[in-house]
Chains A and B, each alone.
Chain A
């Protein structure tokens, strides 16, 4: 897939079909990748596809001017479609280089399994539904489902439906129910205890806004937390204000969140944000039978009304 990607990218830039390329290149730490945003066709050789391509590159589409060739896993392609639905990006301005995704490896799961930190591992190799981790010279095998991100296990569209070039054979959803265990458990918890749970989790939020800034659906020029007239939330990380920030952010992205899981992945203090975002995603699916980013011709959920919609919430 990598070779195909590199030659396609080179061709796109040489033929002037795109102004920019957004893809992944090896990161500066072991088992990481980092976004590569470039106009230079010689940079095509730096592009990689591996089990660590974790970022949702659609996030950069709202700030890059011009036509963009963008590497997109299934989840990323849904975010691109969602942006097209929102009129933030024109379909003809993107060349989607679709990556049929078999899941991205969650390094924090690996670290917990092996009991060592990422930089202490010798190698992580994935082969289908098995992953082999080499640490201190010894190899340990695990089923892939134990090391993939929860949002990958629950992913509904691993292979992009909307693309210009598909870089490999389509891959099926993993559909592993273990992914939803944590969220299911939280649903069983009584409201009072759930409140205490979120008080504990959100007390460590430092209001870095990484969750908001990695999210392709959060593209407002001025976020509500930055308003001072009126001041909706305190600018400081008091847990009650952190909670309001999360609640309102979830409402604002409802119908556009594709459960790409980036918010939870980016959080530096391990707040289980997907327990909120996936919950909202499921509520949206239940109430409106709508899943973001599946159909580029569909109207955005929250900005249009159909007569046949339920009215049982009117009192």
Chain B
């Protein structure tokens, strides 16, 4: 269903039960913005930690025991495995509980679920990453993955923006990428503040200014739905075909494994057949409810 990647189930089942989470320990918490935190964690079972693999774009179901479970992408790169990461915005019951946790707290993890960014398809191409707000989380897994295998890819460009300088996530990554001469990184905000000296403008508009070439290129877009809806037309104008545009879709999820029915768009399940889709696939969905 998703181009070059296959849907294969996670091998890492606890007690042979697909709903049972593994215990994980939070090792570090980074406050990206007042409402967004990144959690660094490792499995309590060291052996599992060594065996565990995942691909960029996949997600996990994270439990705060007694409060609930919620899906977040794995925002660290598979090439940097001393720990795992996920990023969550405080919006509801589970995320509020997550944000009350401290270092050393135990959470649950199930996964990895979903498909992944099609690395085979991306190799040898120019990559244009377009991110907004917390949407940088799934992208950064892929960006570090690509940087760590730099010679397999051609040009790398990133256009990232947030509502205001305080809402920029992963500022440490933006710093590092800004200093990396092998990638071109542009950061923008919808509106600046007194000390902001960078670009001002919504991401789709800045993307149009940067005007990356569509030749041998793939665009990977992650952000709030409204940003995505305005970015696709810009890419089309820049002559990217729908097959050259990738994105991750988001829906309310519970089981994460295609059983509870909730995250469906027509006959596909975002948790099972996604979350990575090309725009061409999205346009071919029987349902327009994306």
Contacts and interface: CB of A to CB of B under 8 A. Distances in A.
B96 interface: yes
Interface residues of B, number: 3
A193 interface: no
Interface string B91-112: 0110010000000000000000
B63 to A, nearest CB: 15
A231 B96 CA distance: 13
Interface in B33-84: none
Interface of A is mostly: loop
A231 B92 CA distance: 11
A228 interface: yes
Nearest to A230: B93
Contacts of A229: 92-93, 96
B166 to A, nearest CB: 24
Contacts of B93: 228-229, 231
B141 to A, nearest CB: 29
A229 B67 CA distance: 11
Nearest to B68: A228
A228 to B, nearest CB: 4
Interface in A224-241: 228-229, 231
A236 B96 CA distance: 22
Nearest to B97: A229
Nearest to B93: A228
Contacts of A228: 92-93
Contacts of B92: 228-229
B139 to A, nearest CB: 29
A224 to B, nearest CB: 15
B252 to A, nearest CB: 12
Nearest to A229: B93
Contacts of B96: 229
A229 B93 CA distance: 6
Contacts of A231: 93
B95 to A, nearest CB: 10
Interface in B96-138: 96
A35 B25 CA distance: 56
A151 B92 CA distance: 42
A227 to B, nearest CB: 9
Interface in B217-265: none
A235 to B, nearest CB: 11
B99 to A, nearest CB: 12
Nearest to B92: A228
Nearest to A227: B93
B100 to A, nearest CB: 12
A229 B100 CA distance: 14
Interface string A212-231: 00000000000000001101
B93 to A, nearest CB: 4
B102 to A, nearest CB: 20
B88 to A, nearest CB: 15
A104 B93 CA distance: 45
Nearest to B91: A229
A15 B93 CA distance: 52
B147 to A, nearest CB: 39
A229 B96 CA distance: 9
A228 B93 CA distance: 6
A231 B67 CA distance: 10
B178 to A, nearest CB: 38
A272 to B, nearest CB: 33
A231 B93 CA distance: 9
A228 B94 CA distance: 9
6 closest A-B pairs (Cβ-Cβ)? A228-B93, A229-B93, A228-B92, A229-B96, A229-B92, A231-B93
Interface of A: 228-229, 231
6 contacts: A228-B92, A228-B93, A229-B92, A229-B93, A229-B96, A231-B93
